[in-house]
Amino acid sequence: MTVLTGALAYAGMPGAAGAPNTRSTAAVLPPVVPQPESERALKGPGFTIGAETPIIVKSSDPDSREVGRYLGRLLRPATGYDLKVEAGRRDHRPAITLDRGGPKSLGEEGYTLTSRAEGVRLTARGAEGLFRGIQTLRQLLPAAVESPTVQRARWTVAPVHITDKPRYGYRSTMLDVARRFYPVADVKRYIDQAAAYKMNTLHLHLTDDQGWRIAIDALPNLTKAGASTQSGFTGGSWFYTKAQYQEIVAYAKSRFITVVPEIDGPGHTSAAQASVPDINCDDKTIPPYSGFDVKISVVCLRDPQHIANVSKFLTTVMTEVAALTPGPYIHVGGDEVPARPAEEYKAYVQAATSAVQAQGKKVIGWHDLSAGTIPAGSLMQYWGDEDARETIGTAEEHKDILLARKGVAQNASFIMSPADRSYLDMKYDSSTPYGLRWAGYVPVKNAYDWDPTTVTAKPDGTSPVVPANQIAGVEAALWADRAYTGSNELPTSTSQFVEPSVYTDFMAFPRLPAVAEIGWSPKSTHDWTRFSSRLAAQGPRWKAAGIGFYAAPDVPWANGS
């Protein structure tokens, strides 16, 4: 068995000399994604973890203790060490110390990390910052630390001092569990992958034409008829029970990730319309849908009676979903509705937003929702692309830009998920077996080379429609419209569908880390050449972890990775 060396093995990699804000240019910095705010190489060998190294948690806070145990569990499979988690003050033994006595300036998620021969010290304001810092710590260890089986290696934490905190407070990724159902284990796996890159939100697209995925006790048919289909599949029962959904929420919480459930409407509603008769204009259910089209459905908003029916439906659903969801937000969708009078759409926005507000939750919607009246404090998720930017300031601005203007005027903040940058279901290039390309190919460079402040600016970066102070963060959205091989055509056999984890691994890696860095790292560190080199160093980690990533040609992978 080869002995794997520590982070300094990356010294020979192109561009490994660190970010512009590093103080030491001579020393080689370990490659970390997302790039920390500031990072300095220290003299000396760094700290080597041994079987007797304690994890000392300087806090009686149970959440911080739990983060200490999480670190122990993280290190156990590859090292074979069962590191003890101890409370109390740091003594003179070599240790990994988690200290929640950090300065206020770090905020909830920031941390400092120092690795020297005598130990590693991670400081934060609380458990969340310690957790984010641990994600950096694992990247300072040899790649083999990600292996699920015991490896022989010298477990040296590269000698550095890092001070870090996020650029944006909202850093999300989305799974489309409606088009393709993800078993709980797959969602948990994805949560761990997102957490490793310091994402803090998981948006679950729970409802669409092809399926309704969350149990609603008062409307059991939603998970009979409505959960019997996926894109390309019929005759199943694909949904999360309340206990399963709560299991996902709790698992995410243990990774400091907030779950945002989405109940999409007034379009993307065939599964609901197949389950609940009185939200259809003829008061009859429609057949469950297992196809691949979009913009095929809308609930009935034609007359006061049906608006009342839809309102009641939304109140029932939002009441139960809110009760299961500790996070502050519910996403109400609002995208891709077949043409209807504007008043009908506005009636839906009114019904959906008041149902969410009645539960004490805040509203998120696709930016389309701004066509209606949205409550103060709402978040709009912008999914426009370059074509829309090109029309800014012209006589014929794109509808996405006009809607963004309406959202800004209503004081919404924005989550930026431009389809041509952060839609992980877009193919990387013509060789990609899965996905779509309506927003163009999204090679890794495109997923990285953008900035939230210019997503709604002119192509030269001027005249942003959404001002910087109304940007909450970013999302990498992994739709599942075409989660099968040969996706340039419709599938002819269910054997073309791969396991959800195979699809997510390939489509999210390396692009999820790219979007994560856009959300976390200071704009001043933004540099494709340096990023792609740090990203290349993640390859051996993903290999060790068993992540089936795409070895994209625009990333300078080291030989053999």
Type of residue numbered 483: A
At its nearest, how many Å lie between ligand ACM and the CB of residue 23? 43
Tokens 């073309």 label which residue?
496
d(CA 53, CA 253): 27
Q: Per DSSP, which regions of 156-246 are E strands? A: 156-157, 160-164, 170-175, 201-205, 207-208, 211-212, 229-230, 233-234
| Count of chain residues binding ligand ACM (CB under 6 A) | 4
At its nearest, how many Å lie between ligand ACM and the CB of residue 14? 36
Catalytic residue chosen out of the listed positions 66, 336, 390, 397: 336
Residue with Cβ nearer ligand ACM (276 or 369): 369
Contact mark string toward ligand ACM, 381..420, x via CB under 6 A: --x-------------------------------------
Residue with Cβ nearer ligand ACM (279 or 477): 477
Q: Counting Cβ atoms within 10 Å, is residue 100 exposed (0-12), middle (13-18) or buried (19+)? A: buried
Residue with Cβ nearer ligand ACM (122 or 471): 471
- Tell me the sheet residues that pair with 229: 234
Find the residue with minimal CB distance to ligand ACM: 335
DSSP states along 482-529: T-BSSTTS--S-GGGBPPHHHHHHHHHTTHHHHHHHHHHS-GGG--HH
At its nearest, how many Å lie between ligand ACM and the CB of residue 125? 35
d(CA 64, CA 405): 42
Measured CA angle at 168 (ends 393, 411), to 5 deg: 50
Residue with Cβ nearer ligand ACM (128 or 481): 481
At its nearest, how many Å lie between ligand ACM and the CB of residue 335? 4
Type of residue numbered 205: H
298 SS3 class? strand
Q: Does 436 bind ligand ACM (CB under 6 A)?
A: no
Helices (H) and strands (E) in the chain, counts: 15, 21
**Dihedral angle of Cα 381, 383, 384, 389, to the nearest 10 degrees:** 60
Tokens 């040899």 label which residue?
142
> How far is residue 486 CA from its own chain's centroid?
26
Q: Does 61 bind ligand ACM (CB under 6 A)?
A: no
At its nearest, how many Å lie between ligand ACM and the CB of residue 366? 5
Q: Does 336 bind ligand ACM (CB under 6 A)?
A: yes
- Is residue 397 part of the annotated active site? The answer reads no
CB of 172 closer than 8 Å to CB of 203: yes
At its nearest, how many Å lie between ligand ACM and the CB of residue 416? 13
Q: What does the block give as tokens for 356?
A: 């969410």
Residue with Cβ nearer ligand ACM (335 or 554): 335
Neighbour count for residue 185 (Cβ, 10 Å): 10
Type of residue numbered 525: T
Residue with Cβ nearer ligand ACM (56 or 507): 507
Q: What does the block give as tokens for 108?
A: 């909830």
Residue with Cβ nearer ligand ACM (192 or 336): 336
Residue with Cβ nearer ligand ACM (345 or 383): 383
Q: What does the block give as tokens for 187?
A: 């969602």
Type of residue numbered 67: V
At its nearest, how many Å lie between ligand ACM and the CB of residue 480? 12
CB of 117 closer than 8 Å to CB of 47: yes
Q: List for the chain the helix, strand, coil content (%; round to 5).
A: 35, 20, 45
d(CA 245, CA 259): 10
At its nearest, how many Å lie between ligand ACM and the CB of residue 517? 22
Residue with Cβ nearer ligand ACM (152 or 295): 295
Tokens 């007034």 label which residue?
266
Q: Does 366 bind ligand ACM (CB under 6 A)?
A: yes
Q: Does 335 bind ligand ACM (CB under 6 A)?
A: yes
Among the listed residues 393, 387, 394, the one whose alpha carbon sits nearest the alpha carbon of residue 421: 387
At its nearest, how many Å lie between ligand ACM and the CB of residue 472? 17
**Residues at the site binding ligand ACM, with contacts judged by CB under 6 A:** 335-336, 366, 383
Residues catalogued as catalytic: 336
